[in-house]
């Protein structure tokens, strides 16, 4: 990230022109070979994953492949990350299902059209955010909320797949409903399906967690061990699909994918239904934000490994365009998924050209390979999904966050439980809302410290934490928060209480090192405090006011009403307001030199 050569050119940073022009200009055959190899591996992985996420989203399985085609090409042109692989993702598919399940029957033409509409809206929302520079909105999904949301979504997804594993019907959009539905349908369980599903689950789990180490121990080189471990899931699918075909298990109750129409998607504008658009708009906003956050965080992480940077504003454009492309070519909201991007990176992709090559691979598969998927059992796809979402669960973070901050922990648990008990959208909104309310609640009762001078320095610290010297005439108060509408009235209360305890004080110096903003409400409060202090014969002063805050104060009449100047530092304020006190401390400082070393407080 901080290498000495400027990386701005390579990373496509800067807003002049398309990011792809930078890497296309210096594209070399050697790079092409690396990209092609990565594309081949990723294509193999993408096919079952895309089918699985289409199943999860409630649309025909082909659409999953369609969504891994054109969006990849479009993102390669407009996106700023070199390694991101864009396509359907587990959480977005879950959200798609959660929004549309109550409205239309699964897989119906209306359901499909509505999914395309969500992709369209998501594309427009992301492009709109790029245009209006609203990328910061994604920050309101705080880390704990996102982590709680991902864990809960992964749990929800895993439990929603159990019905395919058991070969039964039913379903639901919350954990309780999923469990009840599964319990009710349990008598219909198809033993063969369950056996097949559990085998897939076991094999995939072992491949994921053990295969590489086992192969290495058996003397296989690291490269081949990794390649086998990475492509292992594909072989499991091939094996189990062949088994179903050979034994004719589909005649004995095992549900299979069946005929997948071959050929490339047609380009169509999704049908525009304004009422529906209005109805799904809030969900589309959330889905866009979640997709953006997931994509940017993967992009950042991968870029940092090669000391590159990604440009969040350009990511909005790339993802927005990819979603539009998806909407026009079949339709399922897309984002830069974690597992596919990591696979792309680790398979050695060098530039976004790998994404374009992957799209070609998917297109070839759509043209020629769909007959091979005929006997693929749903239970095996479900097992693929369950294993894929294991990586999204982060229970360690729950404990760690709670330990660090109860507020953050509360927001995280609320999101987790909200998603599981109320639904995806509701849970996420609950988490975001709660983290905002908790933050605003905290900021409305800021920390206000009485400070004194550290002996032998010009530094002022809290009298309750440090052995400091206080002037009897001057009360030094440090406000540890911006002075703005949520806390304006609180300062008035605290100042009056503190001064009531100190009848001899003649000057109040408000040390503003922690004040990053004084808004109109804060200014009103300062003026009220100044006026009331004046009535009581106490002068109000400010010190260490930062430049931007000072600029604004100078536009008001407040500074003229102050009885003295604004002091550059708290120390200068003391020098002028109580020279006798400062003379004593000066003597102490000269005695104390050399300066004591830093101490962890």
Near its own copies in 162-201, by CB under 8 A: none
| Both tokens assigned to 63 | 């659409």
**Which of 233, 487, 510, 526 is the binder for its own copies (CB under 8 A)?**
487
State the DSSP string of 398-444. HHHHHHH-HHHHHHHHHHHHHHHHT-HHHHHHHHHHHHHHHHHHHHT
Please answer whether residues 80 and 318 qualify as being in contact, where contact means their C-beta atoms are separated by less than 8 angstroms. yes
Q: Which is nearer to its own copies, 207 or 491 (CB)?
A: 491
Q: Which is nearer to its own copies, 61 or 411 (CB)?
A: 411
Please answer whether residues 146 and 289 qualify as being in contact, where contact means their C-beta atoms are separated by less than 8 angstroms. no
Helices and strands of the chain, counted as H and E runs: 25, 7
Least Å distance, CB 341 to its own copies, is 18
263 scored as a contact of its own copies (CB under 8 A): no
In sequence order, the 6+-apart residues with CB closer than 8 A to the CB of 274 are: none
- Binders in 534-593 for its own copies, by CB under 8 A: 535-536, 538, 543-548, 550, 552, 555-556, 559, 564-569, 571-573, 575-576
Residue 465: other Cβ atoms inside 10 A? 10
**Which of 68, 435, 471, 476 is the binder for its own copies (CB under 8 A)?**
435
Binding mask 137-156 for its own copies (x = CB under 8 A): --xx-xxxx-----------
**Which of 439, 450, 469, 578 is the binder for its own copies (CB under 8 A)?**
439
Give Cα separations from 584 to 291, 464, 473, 477, 511 (angstroms): 61, 22, 15, 21, 22
**Which of 480, 561, 584, 587 is the binder for its own copies (CB under 8 A)?**
480
CA–CA separation, 531 and 527 (whole Å)? 6
Q: Which is nearer to its own copies, 199 or 569 (CB)?
A: 569
- Binders in 495-534 for its own copies, by CB under 8 A: 496, 499-500, 503, 513-517, 519-521, 523-524, 532-533
Backbone torsions φ then ψ of 86, nearest 5 degrees: -95, 140
Q: Which is nearer to its own copies, 82 or 159 (CB)?
A: 82
- Binders in 6-45 for its own copies, by CB under 8 A: 6
600 scored as a contact of its own copies (CB under 8 A): yes
Q: What single DSSP character describes residue 9?
A: T
Please answer whether residues 345 and 223 qualify as being in contact, where contact means their C-beta atoms are separated by less than 8 angstroms. no
In sequence order, the 6+-apart residues with CB closer than 8 A to the CB of 2 are: 307
CA–CA separation, 337 and 340 (whole Å)? 6
Q: Which is nearer to its own copies, 255 or 407 (CB)?
A: 407
- Binders in 394-433 for its own copies, by CB under 8 A: 401, 403-405, 407-409
- Binders in 285-314 for its own copies, by CB under 8 A: 296, 300, 304, 307, 309, 312
3 scored as a contact of its own copies (CB under 8 A): yes
- Give the dihedral sign, CA 557/559/562/563: negative
**Which of 484, 491, 507, 510 is the binder for its own copies (CB under 8 A)?**
484
CA–CA separation, 393 and 600 (whole Å)? 36
Q: Which is nearer to its own copies, 106 or 285 (CB)?
A: 285
Least Å distance, CB 553 to its own copies, is 9
Binding mask 56-85 for its own copies (x = CB under 8 A): ------------------------------
| Both tokens assigned to 456 | 């032998």
Question: Which region among 85-93, 170-178, 374-382, 451-459 touches its own copies (by CB under 8 A)?
Answer: 451-459
Binding mask 92-131 for its own copies (x = CB under 8 A): ----------------------------------------
Please answer whether residues 531 and 497 qualify as being in contact, where contact means their C-beta atoms are separated by less than 8 angstroms. no
Least Å distance, CB 298 to its own copies, is 14
CA–CA separation, 526 and 182 (whole Å)? 62
For 112, what's the count of Cα atoms within 13 Å in the CB-facing half-sphere? Answer: 16
Tokens 């998924």 map to which residue?
337
Question: Which region among 19-27, 34-42, 237-245, 493-501 touches its own copies (by CB under 8 A)?
Answer: 493-501
Residue 17: other Cβ atoms inside 10 A? 9
Cis geometry, peptide bond prior to residue 171 (ω within 30 degrees of 0) = no
Question: Which region among 66-74, 318-326, 421-429, 483-491 touches its own copies (by CB under 8 A)?
Answer: 483-491
Least Å distance, CB 577 to its own copies, is 10
């Amino acid at each position: 990230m901080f290498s000495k050569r400027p990386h701005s050119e390579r990373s496509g940073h800067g807003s002049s022109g398309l990011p792809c022009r930078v890497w296309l200009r210096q594209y070399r055959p050697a790079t092409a070979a690396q990209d092609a190899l990565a594309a081949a591996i990723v294509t193999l992985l993408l096919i079952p994953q895309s089918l699985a996420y289409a199943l999860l989203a409630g649309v025909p399985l082909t659409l999953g492949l369609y969504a891994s085609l054109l969006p990849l090409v479009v993102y390669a042109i407009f996106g700023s990350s070199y390694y991101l692989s864009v396509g359907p993702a587990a959480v977005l598919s879950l959200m798609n299902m959660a929004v549309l399940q109550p409205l239309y029957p699964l897989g119906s033409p209306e359901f499909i059209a509505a999914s395309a509409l969500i992709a369209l809206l998501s594309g427009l929302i992301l492009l709109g955010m790029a245009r209006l520079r609203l990328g910061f909105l994604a920050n309101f999904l705080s880390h704990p909320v996102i982590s709680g949301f991902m864990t809960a979504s992964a749990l929800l997804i895993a439990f929603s797949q159990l019905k395919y594993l058991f070969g039964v019907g039913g379903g639901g959009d919350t954990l309780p409903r999923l469990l009840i539905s599964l319990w009710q349908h349990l008598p219909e369980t198809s033993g063969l399906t369950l056996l097949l599903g559990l085998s897939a689950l076991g094999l995939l789990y072992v491949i994921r967690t053990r295969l590489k180490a086992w192969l290495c121990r058996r003397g296989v080189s690291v490269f081949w061990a990794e390649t086998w471990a990475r492509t292992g899931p594909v072989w499991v699918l091939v094996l189990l699909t062949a088994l179903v075909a050979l034994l004719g298990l589909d005649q004995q109750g095992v549900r299979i994918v069946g005929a997948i129409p071959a050929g490339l998607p047609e380009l169509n504008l999704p049908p525009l239904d304004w009422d529906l658009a209005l109805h799904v708009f809030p969900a589309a906003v959330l889905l866009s934000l979640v997709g953006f956050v997931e994509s940017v965080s993967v992009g950042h992480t991968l870029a940092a490994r090669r000391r590159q940077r990604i440009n969040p504003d350009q990511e909005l454009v790339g993802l927005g365009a990819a979603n539009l492309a998806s909407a026009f070519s079949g339709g399922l909201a897309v984002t830069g998924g974690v597992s596919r991007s990591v696979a792309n990176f680790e398979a050695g992709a060098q530039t976004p050209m790998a994404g374009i090559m992957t799209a070609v691979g998917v297109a070839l598969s759509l043209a020629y390979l769909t007959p091979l998927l005929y006997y693929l059992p749903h239970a095996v796809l479900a097992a693929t999904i369950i294993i894929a979402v294991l990586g999204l669960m982060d229970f360690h973070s729950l404990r760690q966050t709670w330990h660090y901050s109860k507020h953050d922990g509360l927001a995280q648990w609320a999101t987790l439980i909200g998603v599981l008990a109320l639904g995806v959208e509701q849970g996420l909104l609950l988490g975001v809302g709660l983290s905002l309310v908790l933050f605003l609640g905290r900021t409305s009762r800021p920390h206000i410290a009485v400070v004194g001078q550290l002996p032998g320095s010009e530094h002022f610290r809290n009298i309750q934490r440090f052995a400091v010297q206080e002037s009897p005439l001057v009360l030094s108060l440090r406000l540890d928060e911006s002075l703005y509408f949520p806390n304006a009235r609180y300062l008035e209360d605290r100042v009056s209480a503190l001064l009531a305890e100190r009848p001899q004080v003649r000057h109040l110096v408000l040390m503003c090192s922690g004040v990053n903003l004084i808004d109109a409400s804060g200014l009103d409060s300062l003026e009220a405090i100044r006026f009331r202090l004046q009535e009581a014969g106490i002068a109000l002063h400010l010190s260490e006011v930062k430049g931007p805050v000072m600029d604004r104060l100078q536009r008001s009449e407040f500074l003229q009403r102050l009885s003295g100047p604004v002091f550059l530092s708290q120390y200068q304020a003391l020098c002028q307001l109580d020279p006798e006190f400062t003379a004593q401390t000066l003597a102490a400082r000269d005695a104390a030199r050399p300066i004591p070393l830093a101490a962890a407080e």
